[in-house]
Amino acid sequence: MIHSSAIIHPQAQVGSGCEIGPFCVIGENVILGENNKFHSHVVVDGYTKMGAGNEVFPFVAIGTKTQDLKYKGGNPRLEIGDKNVFREGATVHCGTNDGEATVIGSHNLFLIQAHVAHDCILGNHIIMSGYTGLAGHVVVGDHAIISGFSAVHQFCRIGKYSIIGGCSKIVQDVPPFMIVDGNPGETRTINKIGLERAGFSDEAQAALRAAYKVLFREGLSTPNALAKIEAELPPLPEVQYLVQFVRASERGVSK
């Protein structure tokens, strides 16, 4: 299952059932779980640990050195879960500081030329469309979708079940369950289609729509809007999560 032209460092750990195609390069400190498939011309380097069942297409670079100029050496890491797909030209970098890590969960899809920078933390079931980029220290929640050619500023948070429109510039946090679009990004409405597909109840969707109007359409300050939501809307888990996410924001949320 390993092509004769592949270069695998003798110290690399390769799990059973892995397919490593032509001209792939696997570095010294790489640990691969079972049944990963590397089509061809893939580079996996650095202190990278990858779970099982991932599929990596040609010209992907995983675990290479951070582009952060603050890098001073050491062993920053990259940790990747299971059953992710990295399409052609995608890039993922290790963390910057010794002992820190870029972390990617499971069941994510990274389309062509998608980029995950140093120290990002990604959950599960995320889609990054073609030519999207995450700067350093971005946090992305489960089931978020980042549409093509969008760019996310460092230290932003992308809430779960949110969707970012194509060609958007994200400089503040993207609230969960919402659609954000534009340059700079603005919160447009709730992610109705995404919530329906995920099986959220009608009650939860109605409460989130009401919360959206209070937060983004009534002209209230953020503390007053959150207080009104807590006082007037049902304490559903989705509403509580939205309130907690906005309250914890350090960059502010996209309005």
Tell me the per-residue pLDDT of 31-52, one tens digit each, with 9 for 90 and over. Answer: 999 999 999 999 999 999 999 9
- pLDDT band at residue 61, thresholds of 50, 70 and 90? very high
For residue 5, what pLDDT is reported?
Answer: 98
- pLDDT band at residue 211, thresholds of 50, 70 and 90? very high
Specify whether the CB–CB gap between 162 and 176 falls below 8 A: yes
For residue 113, what pLDDT is reported?
Answer: 98
Catalytic residues: 118-119, 136
Distance between alpha carbon 172 and the CA centroid of its chain, in Å? 15
For residue 251, what pLDDT is reported?
Answer: 95
Where do the domains of the chain lie, and which CATH numbers do they carry? Answer: 7-137 (2.160.10.10), 196-247 (1.20.1180.10)
Average pLDDT of every residue of the chain: 98
* 184 upstream amide cis, omega within 30 of 0: yes
pTM of the model: 0.97
Query: pLDDT tens digits, residue range 70-123?
Result: 999 999 999 999 999 999 999 999 999 999 999 999 999 999 999 999 999 999
Give the Cα separation of 198 and 32 in Å (integer). Answer: 31
Give the Cα separation of 59 and 29 in Å (integer). Answer: 20
Structure tokens of 152?
Answer: 């996310």
Q: Please compute the mean of the pLDDT values over residues 201-210 and round it to a whole number.
A: 98
Residues 6+ apart with CB under 8 A from 152: 132, 133, 134, 135, 138, 146, 158, 164, 170
